[in-house]
Amino acid sequence: MSFTGKYELESQEKYEQFLEIIGLLDAKTDLKVQTEVCQEGNDFTWTQSLPGWTWSNKFSIGQDCELVTMTGSKFKAPVIMEDGKISVQFPQYHFTAEMVNDKLVMTCITPGEKGVTFTRVSKRI
């Protein structure tokens, strides 16, 4: 299933705890996040927007890509797709995204004993 589309936050779990672990203590948590995904074959442009803030990455499945974290740091990592699920190891967390019943489900897992699993479900708009 193609990821292409515009999505709006429907629900999320453990977002505040996730932001605390990655050092974004001042981030707004009550805003409707919008995600826009453009997929052309294995090439993606992935953009998340809040009022006053936009974060975007371009990547290709199966390649090492230069990506940007939510805090603005650049890093290189391979982007993998297995069983329809995109997977990227960010410096502070492991990110996955998949389509489930026409909804975009993103999961970020931070490592360690105090690690947290943040899940965001977005509906197509």
Closest CA to 78 of 89, 69, 68: 89
Judged by DSSP in three states, 32 sits in coil
| CATH number assigned to the domain covering 5-124 | 2.40.128.20
Please report which residue ranges of the chain form alpha helices under DSSP H. Answer: 15-22
Tell me how far apart the alpha carbons of residues 66 and 24 are, in angstroms, rounded to a whole number: 21
Tokens of 91: 């410096």
* Tens of pLDDT, residues 2-16: 899 999 999 999 988
Quote the pTM value. Answer: 0.90
Angle at 106 between CA 123 and CA 47, to 5 degrees: 75
pLDDT beyond 70 at 47: yes
Judged by DSSP in three states, 26 sits in coil
Q: Where is pLDDT greater, at 50 or 64?
A: 64
Residue 41 confidence (pLDDT): 94
Tell me how far apart the alpha carbons of residues 50 and 78 are, in angstroms, rounded to a whole number: 27
| Per-domain boundaries in the chain | 5-124
Residue 89 contacts residue 75 (beta carbons within 8 Å): no
